Structure 1
Amino acid sequence: MNSSDFYLLLADLILITHALFVVFVVVGLILILIGGACSWSWVRNPLLRLSHLFAIGFVVIQSWLGAICPLTMWENMLRKKAGGVGYQDTFISYWFEKLLYYQLPQWIFVVAYTLFGALVLVSWFWVRPRSFR
């Protein structure tokens, strides 16, 4: 494996991590709400819920500050080191890029992330987590 392939592999791993982060945040909220209605005890796990709240909180604050996601920056840096310009060459990067990155005005993302974050915060009260003891 040459260095270019290695950088592309690392970039793809970061992209997969990014996708899993998105799945954790989005599907996590859906499962928390369904789990609350179905009395699933695991959705009240305080560590899970705090991790979920922190994850979306990070995204919301980052969007308010107009910052680029660190995962996106690292991935692009690795793709450039591999000789690319970002989001080309590999199958994984092509499809995940289509699923994760949309070309819309920044304010739409700020509003969407803020509303989603507010819903996660409200879910904290709808489906109360157990205490940390």
Structure 2
Amino acid sequence: MLLRLAADAVLIGHLLFILFVVFGGALAFRWRWVALLHLPAAAWGFCIEISGRICPLTYLENQLRRAAGQAGYSESFIEHYLLPIIYPQSLTTDIQYLLAGAVLLTNTVIYSRILSRNRQHTK
């Protein structure tokens, strides 16, 4: 029971991390220090997507599920949980590149606006 709860906690943490990677830059509008946490997280998310590798949190969740007597899954977190919701087909390298590009573009826009706002305040 405890291992299953731990696997579920990793799952929730993984989802929150993905949301932070994609949208965390928006928090830096309000709290500048968030950028110190967000930029490395966004870089990690970008690298995982562009390289086609599987996030270590997926391995951890699977290990905990197997230890709890549940079946793990062979694909990545995105393929297993998010892809069926967002995309009707399997995750492909092209889709991973698209996701990586979306992370990069979203955060480039957000941080460009933050830098622009900061420059206006210093004038």
Per the normalisation by structure 1, the TM-score is: 0.65
CA distance in 2, matches of 1:16, 1:58: 18
For the Cα contact (< 8 Å) 1:11–1:75, is it kept in 2? yes
Look up the match of 1:108. Answer: 95
Look up the match of 1:85. Answer: 71
Once the two structures are superposed, what CA deviation does each residue of 1:14-47 show, in whole Å capped at 9, x if it has no partner?
A: 0111121123233434xx2xx8xxxxxx615332
Q: Is structure 2 residue 109 aligned with structure 1 residue 122?
A: yes
* Partner of residue 11 from structure 2, selected from 11, 15, 25: 15
Deviation at residue 56 of structure 1 after TM alignment: 1.5
Higher relative contact order (CA 8 A, sep 6+): 1
CA distance in 2, matches of 1:28, 1:61: 17
Deviation at residue 101 of structure 1 after TM alignment: 4.4
Deviation at residue 50 of structure 1 after TM alignment: 2.8
Q: Give 3-state SS (helix, strand or coil) of 1:107's partner.
A: helix
Aligned partner letter, 1:124: Y
Unaligned runs of 5+ in 1: 36-41, 88-96
Calculate the aligned-residue CA RMSD, in Å. Answer: 2.5
Q: Is structure 2 residue 29 aligned with structure 1 residue 43?
A: yes
Per the normalisation by structure 2, the TM-score is: 0.69
CA distance in 2, matches of 1:53, 1:64: 16
State the identity %: 33
